[in-house]
């Protein structure tokens, strides 16, 4: 079946602009995660949604970062007033409950 999809695959923006990144999880998965991966590094946890529970935002690096999940499915990660250090690959994953996480292909963000 269809896996996790993310859009856009690549995004180039200017410093100070806002960006929105989208994630479509696997159908039926209750949990959704956002991670960030800088060049040559492992993944850094950002935020976690599970069903109708309040999201765990403990990994968000600053208040410029926010995310929402509408209707328990699609999620949008928003970065306001982007900075050059926000350049990274943003990865989304989903799981059924707290089971195995399956990842999307990522969005490569470059802030000029």
Partner 1 sequence: DAKTTQPPSMDCAEGRAANLPCNHSTISGNEYVYWYRQIHSQGPQYIIHGLKNNETNEMASLIITEDRKSSTLILPHATLRDTAVYYCIVRVADSNYQLIWGAGTKLIIKP
* 15 or 41: CB nearest partner 1: 41
CB of 16 to partner 1, least distance (A): 28
Residues that bind partner 1 (CB under 8 A): 4, 31, 33, 35, 40-45, 48, 50, 56, 91, 93, 95, 98, 100-106
Cβ pair 70, 24 in contact under 8 A: no
CB of 80 to partner 1, least distance (A): 25
* 88 or 106: CB nearest partner 1: 106
Alpha-carbon gap, residue 65 to 82, rounded angstroms: 9
CB of 34 to partner 1, least distance (A): 12
Nearest CA to 112 out of 80, 79, 86 is that of: 86
CB atoms within 10 A of CB 27: 9
User: Can you tell me whether residue 85 is helix, strand or coil?
Assistant: helix
CB of 46 to partner 1, least distance (A): 11
* 15 or 110: CB nearest partner 1: 110
Measured CA distances, 76 to 40, 67, 98 (Å) = 25, 6, 21
């Amino acid at each position: 079946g269809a896996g996790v999809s993310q859009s856009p695959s690549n995004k180039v923006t200017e410093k100070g602009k806002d960006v929105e990144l989208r994630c479509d999880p696997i159908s039926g998965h209750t949990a959704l995660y956002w991670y960030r991966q800088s060049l040559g590094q492992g993944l850094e946890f950002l935020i976690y949604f599970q069903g109708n529970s309040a999201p765990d935002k403990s990994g968000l690096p600053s208040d410029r970062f926010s995310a929402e999940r509408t209707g328990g499915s699609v999620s949008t990660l928003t970065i306001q007033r982007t900075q050059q250090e926000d350049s990274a690959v943003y990865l989304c994953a989903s799981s059924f409950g707290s089971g195995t996480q399956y990842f999307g292909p990522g969005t490569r963000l470059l802030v000029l």
